[in-house]
Amino acid sequence: MLWGPALWALALLLLLAAPACNTGRHSPAGFRLPPGGDIERGKAAFVALGCGRCHELAGVDLPAPAGRTRPVLLLGGEVSREPGDGRLVRAIISPSGKRREGVAMPHYDERMTVRQLTDIVELLQSSYKLRPRPPDWGS
């Protein structure tokens, strides 16, 4: 059976749209944390683990640690694409070499519980806001 131009156009559209369906925090593909992360517990873990020594969260009111001397790295804010949970987990438990001079994030793979990790990721996700798309986006 030969495909007509309309069927080819539909197939191409589906192929191009498929990757967009599998992006974002709640994508059916890729890494996902179990449900139940709690923002308030995330704030408590963020403070208890000393994350505020180096980080601030956009739009989240947290106490600044006494005697902060390091440069502050702002997390959150407006983004064009929601970060996936896997990306945030990887950045927490196994930080990459992308660090500002004088700041070295410790590894938290043996310093926090899974509950703390889940709650901190929920807190981090709450600090990201999707940037509105321009009205002519996609046309």
* Cβ atoms within 10 Å, residue 102: 8
- Confidence at residue 46, expressed as pLDDT on a 0 to 100 scale: 95
Domain that residue 76 falls in: 30-130
- Per-10-residue mean pLDDT, the chain, length 139: 46 43 60 88 95 90 79 89 88 72 74 93 95 72
- Confidence at residue 8, expressed as pLDDT on a 0 to 100 scale: 43
- Asked if the structure places residue 3 within a domain, the reply is no
- Asked if the structure places residue 137 within a domain, the reply is no
- Asked if the structure places residue 109 within a domain, the reply is yes
How many domains is the chain built from? 1
Its pTM surpasses 0.85 = no
Where do the H-state alpha helices sit in 1-139? 5-21, 39-48, 85-93, 114-126
Residue 62 contacts residue 124 (beta carbons within 8 Å): no
CATH number at residue 60: 1.10.760
